[in-house]
Amino acid sequence: MSPDALVRQHADLVYRVALRVTGTPDDAADAAQDALVKVWKGIGAIDAERQRAWAARVARNAALDLIRRRKVRPEPGRGEPVTEPPCASPQPDDHAEAGDLRAELARAVGTLDDPYRTILLLRDVEGLAYAEIADALDLPLNTLKVYLHRARRRARAALTASAPELVP
């Protein structure tokens, strides 16, 4: 598979990671663009089964670099995007409701610090396996599982305060 095709395959994942780490669509676009260039250059040397985790790692690092560069790291609780990007496949009937739901969930995820935010995103949004996330974040597997429980509990607490109907 050509580098262009691989970049297109992982572009959405890269952008979503950048969006959740930076907190704003503009910063996410900048970070995602930097990350996609790096993915294009390096993904050919990565084993196929590790490419998704590696792309997520590159996206996270690019987003954290951008935050450090601009020194505008979003504070916990205020990290939600000012304008949530439009849905990929909007449905006319429930578009507004889905937008509200997404904004609430994004706000709850935005209350978490890194790496909890990234772990929650990679596991519960992107569906990466434990081993992939541990590889992407250089964490021991047991530490990752503990962090994931902690991240879910904190996101649940944030939702309980703002949107309890979303808490299982």
Partner 1 sequence: MTAPCLRLDDYLDGRLSAANAEAFETHTLACPACDAALDQAAPDLSVLRDVSCPPEVLEAALRTARRAPALAPDRLPARRHRPRRRFVVVPLALAAAVAIAVGVTWDRALDDSAPAIAEAVPPAAAAPEAPSALPEPTPPASDATAAPEPVAPAPRPEPTPAPRPTPPAPELTAPADDDLVAQTGATTDPAEPEPTPEEIEAARDDLALAFHLVAEAQARAREAVRDEATPLTHTLDRALPF
Chain positions contacting partner 1, by CB under 8 A: 3-4, 7-8, 11-12, 14-16, 19-20, 29, 32-34, 36-38, 40-41, 65, 69, 84-85, 87-89, 98, 101-102, 105-106, 108-109, 120-121, 124-126, 142, 145-146, 149-150, 152-153, 155-157, 159, 166-168
| 108, 155, 137, 6: CA torsion to nearest 10 | -50
Are 9 and 36 in contact by the 8 Å Cβ rule? The answer is: no
CB of residue 113 to partner 1, shortest distance in Å:
15
Q: Two tokens at 23?
A: 């907190």
- Distance (Å, whole) CA 91 – CA 27: 27
Q: Two tokens at 48?
A: 């196929």
CB of residue 30 to partner 1, shortest distance in Å:
9
CB of residue 106 to partner 1, shortest distance in Å:
6
CB closer to partner 1 out of 16 and 136:
16
What lies within 8 Å, CB to CB, of 106 at 6+ separation is: 20, 80, 81, 84
Q: What are phi and psi of 119, to 5 degrees?
A: -60, -45
CB closer to partner 1 out of 126 and 135:
126
CB closer to partner 1 out of 37 and 78:
37
- Distance (Å, whole) CA 32 – CA 25: 10
CB of residue 88 to partner 1, shortest distance in Å:
4
CB closer to partner 1 out of 108 and 137:
108
CB of residue 47 to partner 1, shortest distance in Å:
20
Round to the nearest angstrom and report the end-to-end CA distance of the chain. 41
